[in-house]
Chains A and B, each alone.
Chain A
Amino acid sequence: MAYQIENTQQGEKYNTIFSKVPAAERRKRNSRSRLRKRILLGTYIVLLMLPIYWLLNMSLQTNSEILGSMTLWPQNLTFDNYIGIFTDSSWYMGYVNSILYVVMNMIITMLVALPAAYAFSRYKFIGDKHLFFWLLTNLMAPPAVFLLPYFQLYYSVGLFDTHIAVALAHCLFNIPLAIWILEGFMSSVPKEIDETAYIDGYSFPKFFVKIFIPMISSGIGVVLFFLFMFSWVELLLARTLTSTDAQPIGMIMTRTSTASGIDWGTLAAAGMLTIIPGILVVYFVRNHIAKGFALGRT
């Protein structure tokens, strides 16, 4: 399959030696199988994009057109739904709130996860394996389990309905994930680098910031992508820990359904706008993302 696409020249050489099938026939077969792959992949991507396209389609229509007739694309293109969101502060503050707590979470997680991942990748210390395993168990904790205690805990310390509360709550799964991925990337950096730097007279903090962090920058980019992803998509905790001042966009979207029916156009436009930050983030890390998905371990 895959090997037929790459190195066709070398493949040709082997084929002429070992294959009874003539080279021309072989090439034709290769191009046919490549075409089949393209078609299959293309079909999958079209199916993947269909629901998103439908959302986009609806976000560019007025409610009367949405409910009036079935149209595969907007007949009267309108941006009113988007304009409505951008001119109403109770709407766009939802995006600001979501982005604020996601960025806070990314900063907090990185600050504590970088040294911890370094410790796990470089040193043996009492209880290291148990600690690592315990960290991973936090990834398996259903957010629903923590709903009530979080509410009470953050309420009692006066953090309820603040961005920092959501950012801290998302640390529950984001810190273990960050340490897990960073440890993989850090372990692939040879230890000799650390030793040489210490011999050259670098102190630990200086070495860490000046030499080590730049070396694993692609890993850090990938981790930031994952932190963004899991904090951005989570709603159950974010919704429970906020009421008005720090409400995430996902919660504000529920306002579109009122007694007089659902405001489909605005709902679709708001949904489209929640997809855009994700596209931006994935674009920045596209070259490292494949390695990142294997948690830095391939």
Chain B
Amino acid sequence: MNNKVQNNRAWLLVLPMLVLVAFSAIIPLMTVVNYSVQDVLGPNASFFTGTEWFRTMLNDPALHAAFGRQVAFSLIILAIQVPLGIGIALLMPKKGWQASAVLILITLPLLIPWNVVGSIWQIFTRNDIGLMGWSLSELGLDYNLTRNAGDAWFTIILMDVWHWTPLVAMLCYSGLRSIPEAYYQAARIDRASKWAVFRYIQLPKLTNVLVIAVLLRFMHSFMIYAEPFVLTGGGPGSSTTFLSQSLTTMAIGQQDLGPSAAFSIIYFLVILLVSWVFYTTIMHMQKDKNSQGGA
């Protein structure tokens, strides 16, 4: 909105929030920065190391592998969840009790604690007591996610699609609901095909929510921790160890303060950078389109 009033006393309204977020974000982040440039040997014994930890982390082959897996995972789930979410949103009823019922059922996976999601899928895919694992074994497939890296990947992606496609679907559904009925009537007069309606009416209206959806899904999938940790524990081997798990192992398990702090900062910066580049590119694309006089 352009009609905002210039008033610096508004800072007073923001102040309580700022104090709280400073306590939960700035102070811890400063601690991390502090550790990343020091070698901490004991409570009073630490010396300045400069960028050494950063160089070590950037050249660590295990982290390169984890980073590669992380990127592959995020890209795969985005490629599945975004089209699937749009499709489901198009199928959802728009009013009546069915609409409420479908909304509640579809939102359900989003409200389950993440480690419980891991447990659910751990149970569901076990060969002896899980419906999916048992059925696959009965069909004669050699399905075993603790031994077979391919099966572990398949299961983790299936789990994430199960868990998070509802978010994309809900976002798209809310975008679709904001399209005025007159647009559809105009399309009907023009005898537009279903595909044309989707391509020129529904999809453009979905752009905004899809930007939010892709951003949220990218961020969350890049930070994924609890679900694969419970389901596979990062295995077999380290085939499903993603960045957050590498980091917690390093920070809590091995207590390597300096390296893990440097890793944290790189990790955070990568997410920030990708989100920022994605967001500004989309915004520029939209601006170009608008300046060309398009819809």
Contact = CB atoms under 8 A, between A and B. Distances in A.
Interface stretch (B75-83, B246-254, B285-293): B246-254
A298 B174 contact: yes
A17 to B, nearest CB: 9
B184 A250 contact: no
Contacts of B178: 294, 298
Nearest to B170: A293
A253 B226 contact: no
Interface string A120-148: 11111110100100010111111111111
Contacts of B176: 2
A232 B111 contact: yes
Interface residues of A, number: 106
A14 B189 contact: yes
B59 interface: no
Contacts of A171: 20-21, 24
Contacts of B21: 135, 138, 171-172, 175-176
Interface stretch (B46-54, B61-69, B90-98): B90-98
A125 B91 contact: no
Contact of B91 (A41, A122, A291): A41
A142 B104 contact: no
Interface in A233-268: 233-236, 240, 249-250, 253, 264, 267-268
Interface stretch (A78-86, A210-218, A276-284): A276-284
A142 B107 contact: no
B121 A41 contact: no
B162 to A, nearest CB: 7
Given A52-B108, A54-B124, A123 B6 contact: yes
Contacts of B25: 138, 141, 146, 172
A7 B120 contact: no
Given A124-B4, A298-B175, A298-B178, A278 B108 contact: yes
B232 to A, nearest CB: 15
Given A2-B184, A41-B91, A54-B131, A113 B17 contact: yes
A51 B272 contact: no
Contacts of B264: 142, 144-145
A268 B123 contact: yes
Nearest to A41: B91
B44 interface: no
**Chief secondary structure at chain B's binding surface:** helix
A67 B13 CA distance: 58
A293 B124 contact: no
Indicate the size class of the contact surface on chain B. Answer: 35 or more
A235 B115 contact: yes
B28 A123 contact: no
B100 A287 contact: yes
A49 B105 CA distance: 8
A184 B208 CA distance: 13
Interface string B10-33: 110110111011011101110110
A94 to B, nearest CB: 11
B143 interface: no
A197 interface: no
Contact of B187 (A3, A112, A295): A3
Given A3-B185, A149-B29, A290-B177, 13 more contacts: A2-B184, A3-B184, A41-B92, A111-B16, A115-B14, A125-B7, A140-B272, A232-B113, A236-B226, A287-B100, A291-B174, A291-B177, A293-B171
Interface of A: 1-3, 5-7, 10-11, 14-15, 18-19, 37, 40-41, 44-45, 47-52, 54-55, 58, 66-67, 70, 72, 108, 111-113, 115-116, 118-126, 128, 131, 135, 137-150, 152-153, 168-169, 171-172, 175-176, 179, 187, 191, 229, 232-236, 240, 249-250, 253, 264, 267-268, 271, 274-275, 277-279, 281-283, 286-287, 289-295, 297-298
Interface of B: 1, 3-11, 13-14, 16-18, 20-21, 23-25, 27-29, 31-32, 35, 88, 90-94, 100, 102-116, 119-121, 123-124, 128-132, 134, 162, 166-167, 170-171, 173-178, 181, 184-185, 187-189, 191, 194, 197-198, 202, 208-209, 212, 219, 222-223, 225-226, 243-245, 247-248, 251-252, 257, 260-261, 264-265, 267-268, 271-272, 275
